[in-house]
Amino acid sequence: MELSFEVEGMSDFIDTVDRLIEGTKPDKIEPILSRAADPIAREVRSRTPVGPTSNLKKAVKKKKLQRFFGQPAPYIVAIDRKKAPHAWLVTHGTSGVRPVDPSHLTTLGGRLVKITQTGVMPPNRFFAEGVEAKQGEALSIVEKGVADILEEAMK
């Protein structure tokens, strides 16, 4: 006795799975991740304190990381430490008075001032607050983008 069975719609199912796999390739996902990082970068820049050079604001970057094992490359928002090495001091603050050696002259409020020591600076959580403010929007961009890809694949 020979036993056989046939599954109806199997070729359609295989085609759908192939379209889903094609839709989730890195080239399709990475643009969505890039769009999701944009509002976070804008918000962090808008909250960044501005000094005389604006280097801290200019140092806020959106960066694409490397792909690993065929997975989509993640995007991050970060501060370029080469452009703004003082970012850590701004975000975490300073805790005490330290001498500045050698001292230097600068202009504050239109007056020439000799800087001989630093003071206490409270932390400014501009980066964390910017991320927290826009993470929901970024997640909804990713959700909508992936849903659109899946919906297209299911057609």
Residue 113 domain-assigned (yes or no) = yes
- Residue 104 lies in domain: 10-154
Note the pTM of the prediction, 2 decimals: 0.74
Residue 4 domain-assigned (yes or no) = no
Residue 5 domain-assigned (yes or no) = no
pLDDT digit string, tens, across residues 111-154: 999 989 888 889 999 999 999 999 999 999 999 998 888 787 77
Question: Could you check whether the bond before residue 102 is cis, i.e. omega within 30 degrees of 0?
Answer: yes
Q: Please state, in angstroms and rounded to a whole number, the distance separating the CA atoms of residues 44 and 134.
A: 9
Looking at residue 16, its amino acid is T
Domain count, the chain: 1
